């Protein structure tokens, strides 16, 4: 009923926008990373033609990314932080999502609203709240001293890895719980009843029915929070600020904002993106599949 | 122990330890923010030691309150300016793109869809770096500053609008427009009189969410800022946290929390209002909320 040109022309402004301000900018990063540095102004001179690319900076970054190099240490640390945070987030998030999906009947709407709340509170505000609580004279230290767990205020904010992991969990866990909840909520109860009728113990039913059926939710949620965690720099900066807890994002931030070496920063950004493309691809294929299912209904 | 055994024997009973974990989690996620809000009303200069209620940091402190500190006032204005411009531009582009991508079958449709999904999964720092470099090396006529920040916010918002509107498009299907066409409506009339009203709830939800994510954004605003007058409230919180902040930071953060929650609430109520006839058909509030989780 509609003319054939209508839908592509509707899509045109948005597609053009994203090409000009999302795809082209990425090429700018590549151009800078493979470019040179002006010897006098010390500013980046991008090279647009792939034939003339200067691989010097990228290979320098790559050599520092090999075991023993300084970027390697940061890369390993970033992976440790992200995986520790993912593990903790699942440990906390799964029972919560499970309870709300399966057991909360009357309180379900209220719990869902409370669950979504953190989405609408600025991430910076939530981190700021914890910085206040963990300060030497903050509530946490005063409580611990009151309970005689510690005598002196503990320096939570003095470059502790555990604080950074804790902050990452606190910051990103809402984005994990929601997809988890969605996948658990979708599970047909009759399948569990069937498992129980066929003699599975409750634990077996959970391990062999619920858990496999929620696998997509777990993986999807993990990817969804792992991606921003890998690019995070503000969380470690806010709750620690010490170089001993710096993540890959901090290095990128540093090369652009503190030392003006955008070439190294750009090269790091590209390597980070290549590393993350696998995760992104996984997520986008899942989304594309879900969209197709929606369309076919 | 008997409780755990009782739960194992009957998983549909009341699992008390799950209740404990769930409410514990909720408290953990929300109470720290409430405490930060409490200290916005502190009467002394401390953010950690409570010394009584006062509106000092909102209104009457002569130099450091949100009302009297020009930096705070300006940051508030900048945040609203960016969010407002973002909604005005990203929502129309996103709605059109959602319609186009949902129905365009042909060469380029797949690629366009792919490009649309990318901003949703790209870490913000990567977007920040690439936008900064494109504005300093290719589109050099756009300097970092408010205009660049607006462009950046729109770029990451479009995809959110598309996802919300497209979800709605799939759920309403094409039968209403086909019925309109059968009854003699021209394509333009079918679009304007049938499809647009049906999409209104999703457009409202999309606008509310765009406003909320724009006002809470830190990374893109920071990378595209040119200092001074382009500092937004999240940037202000970030800079202040690492210095020695006053409760006025709590106060301005409190204002932002209220504004965001109010926006989402208004969006949500409007969504409920525009879909009021559909509630009998199932879905209910939990279904509505699906539009609000990305």
Of chain B, the percentage scoring pLDDT greater than 90 comes to 20
Co-location of B137 and B252 in the same domain: yes
**What pLDDT sits at residue B285?**
45
Report the domain count for chain B. 2
Residue B88 included in any domain: yes
Copy the structure tokens of residue B76.
Answer: 């508030």
d(CA A19, CA B118): 11
Co-location of B36 and B146 in the same domain: no
Name chain A contacts of B154, Cβ cutoff 8 Å: 17, 21
Co-location of B31 and B77 in the same domain: no
Residue B176 included in any domain: yes
Name chain A contacts of B108, Cβ cutoff 8 Å: 8
Co-location of B7 and B89 in the same domain: no
Subunit contact B151:A294, Cβ cutoff 8 A: no
Give this complex's ipTM. 0.87
Name chain A contacts of B121, Cβ cutoff 8 Å: 223-224, 227, 279-280, 283-284
Q: Which of A127, A133, A230 sits opposite B123 (nearest CB)?
A: A230
Please write the tens of the pLDDT for every residue from B88-119.
999 999 999 998 888 888 777 788 888 888 88
Subunit contact B117:A6, Cβ cutoff 8 A: no
Residue B143 included in any domain: yes
Residue A192 included in any domain: yes
Residue A8 included in any domain: no
Co-location of B6 and B110 in the same domain: no
Q: Which of B151, B181, B289 sits opposite A116 (nearest CB)?
A: B289
Q: Are A238 and B242 in contact (CB under 8 A)?
A: yes
> Which pLDDT tens digits describe chain A residue by residue (297 residues)?
777 778 878 888 888 999 999 989 999 888 888 888 777 777 777 878 777 777 777 888 788 878 888 888 888 899 999 999 999 999 999 999 888 888 877 788 888 888 888 888 888 889 988 888 888 888 887 888 888 777 777 778 787 888 999 999 999 999 898 888 888 888 888 888 888 888 888 888 888 888 888 888 888 888 889 999 998 999 998 888 778 888 888 888 888 887 778 888 888 898 888 888 888 887 778 777 776 766 665
Subunit contact A95:B261, Cβ cutoff 8 A: no
Q: Are A175 and A225 in contact (CB under 8 A)?
A: yes
Co-location of B113 and B17 in the same domain: no
Residue B54 included in any domain: no
- B201 phi, psi to nearest 5 deg: -55, -40
Report the domain count for chain A. 1
Is B174 a residue whose pLDDT tops 90? no
C-alpha distances out from residue B123 to A58, A121, B276, Å: 20, 19, 37
Separation in Å, CA of B100 to nearest CA in chain A: 4
Looking at per-residue pLDDT, the higher value among B243 and B221 belongs to B221
Q: Which domain holds residue B244?
A: 70-290
Co-location of B74 and B34 in the same domain: no
d(CA A238, CA A123): 11
Co-location of B117 and B228 in the same domain: yes
Compare all CA atoms of chain B with the CA of A18 and give the residue at the minimum distance.
B155
d(CA A289, CA B282): 24
Q: For the residues of B53-90, what is the DSSP string, one character each?
A: B--IIIII-TTTSTTT-HHHHHHHHHHHHHHHHHHHHH
Compare all CA atoms of chain A with the CA of B187 and give the residue at the minimum distance.
A2
Looking at per-residue pLDDT, the higher value among A95 and B283 belongs to A95
Co-location of B96 and B173 in the same domain: yes
Residue B61 included in any domain: no
Subunit contact B33:A138, Cβ cutoff 8 A: no
> How many A/B residue pairs have CB atoms within 8 Å?
296
Residue A13 included in any domain: no
Please write the tens of the pLDDT for every residue from A125-168.
899 888 888 888 888 878 888 887 777 777 787 878 889 999 99
Co-location of B35 and B141 in the same domain: no
Q: Is A44 helix (H, G, I), strand (E, B) or coil?
A: strand
Co-location of B80 and B20 in the same domain: no
Co-location of B134 and B23 in the same domain: no
CATH code at A263? 1.10.3720.10
Q: What is the pTM of this model?
A: 0.86
d(CA A22, CA B20): 45
**What pLDDT sits at residue A89?**
94
Residue A203 included in any domain: yes
Q: Which domain holds residue A245?
A: 22-296
**What pLDDT sits at residue A90?**
93
CATH code at B151? 1.10.3720.10
Subunit contact A118:B29, Cβ cutoff 8 A: yes
């Amino acid at each position: 009923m509609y003319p054939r040109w209508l839908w592509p022309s509707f899509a045109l402004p948005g597609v053009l926008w994203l090409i000009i301000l999302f795809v082209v900018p990425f090429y700018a990063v590549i151009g800078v990373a493979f470019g040179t540095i002006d010897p006098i102004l010390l500013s980046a001179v991008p090279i647009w033609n792939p034939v003339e690319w200067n691989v010097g900076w990228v290979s320098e970054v790559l050599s520092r990314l090999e075991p023993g190099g300084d970027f390697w240490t940061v890369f390993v640390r970033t992976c440790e932080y992200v995986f520790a945070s993912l593990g903790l987030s699942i440990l906390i998030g799964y029972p919560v999502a499970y309870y709300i999906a399966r057991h909360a009947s009357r309180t379900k709407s209220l719990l869902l609203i409370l669950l979504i709340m953190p989405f609408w509170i600025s991430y910076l505000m939530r981190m700021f709240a914890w910085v206040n609580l963990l300060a030497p004279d903050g509530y946490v230290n005063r409580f611990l001293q009151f309970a005689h767990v510690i005598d002196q205020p503990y320096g939570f904010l003095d470059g502790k890895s555990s604080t950074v992991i804790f902050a990452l969990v606190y910051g990103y866990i809402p984005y994990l719980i929601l997809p988890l909840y969605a996948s658990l909520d979708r599970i047909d109860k009759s399948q569990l009843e069937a498992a129980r009728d066929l003699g599975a113990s409750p634990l077996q039913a959970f391990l062999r029915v619920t858990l496999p059926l929620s696998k997509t939710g777990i993986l999807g949620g993990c990817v969804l929070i792992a991606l921003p965690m890998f690019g995070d720099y503000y969380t470690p900066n806010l709750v620690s600020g010490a170089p001993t807890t710096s993540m890959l994002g901090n290095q990128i931030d540093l090369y652009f904002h503190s030392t003006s070496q955008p070439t190294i920063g750009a090269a790091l950004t590209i390597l980070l993106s290549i590393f993350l493309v696998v995760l992104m691809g996984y997520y986008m294929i899942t989304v594309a599949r879900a969209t197709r299912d929606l369309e076919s209904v | 122990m008997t409780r755990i055994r009782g739960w194992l024997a009957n998983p549909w009973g009341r699992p008390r330890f799950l209740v404990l974990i769930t409410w514990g989690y909720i408290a953990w996620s929300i109470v720290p923010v409430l405490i930060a809000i409490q200290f916005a009303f502190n009467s002394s200069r401390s953010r950690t030691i409570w010394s009584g209620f006062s509106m000092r940091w909102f209104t009457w402190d002569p130099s450091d309150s949100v009302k009297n500190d020009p930096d705070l006032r300006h940051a508030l204005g900048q945040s609203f300016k960016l969010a407002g411009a973002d909604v005005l531009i990203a929502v129309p582009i996103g709605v059109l793109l959602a319609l186009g991508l949902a129905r365009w079958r042909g060469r380029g449709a797949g690629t366009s869809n792919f490009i649309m999904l990318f901003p949703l999964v790209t870490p913000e720092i990567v977007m920040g770096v690439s936008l900064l470099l494109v504005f300093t090396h290719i589109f050099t006529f756009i300097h970092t500053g408010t205009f660049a920040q607006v462009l950046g916010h729109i770029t990451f918002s479009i995809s959110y609008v598309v996802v919300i509107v497209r979800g709605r498009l799939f759920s309403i299907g094409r039968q209403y427009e086909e019925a309109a066409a059968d009854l003699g409506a021209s394509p333009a009339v079918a679009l304007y009189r049938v499809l647009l009203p049906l999409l209104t709830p999703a457009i409202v939800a999309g606008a509310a969410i765009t406003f909320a994510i724009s006002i809470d954004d830190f990374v893109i605003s920071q990378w595209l800022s040119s200092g001074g007058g382009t500092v937004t409230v999240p940037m202000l919180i970030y800079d202040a946290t690492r210095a020695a902040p006053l409760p006025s930071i709590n106060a301005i953060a409190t204002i932002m929390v209220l504004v965001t929650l109010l926006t989402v609430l208004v969006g949500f109520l409007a969504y409920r209002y525009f879909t009021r006839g559909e509630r009998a058909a199932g879905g209910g509030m939990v279904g509505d909320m699906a539009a609000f989780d990305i």
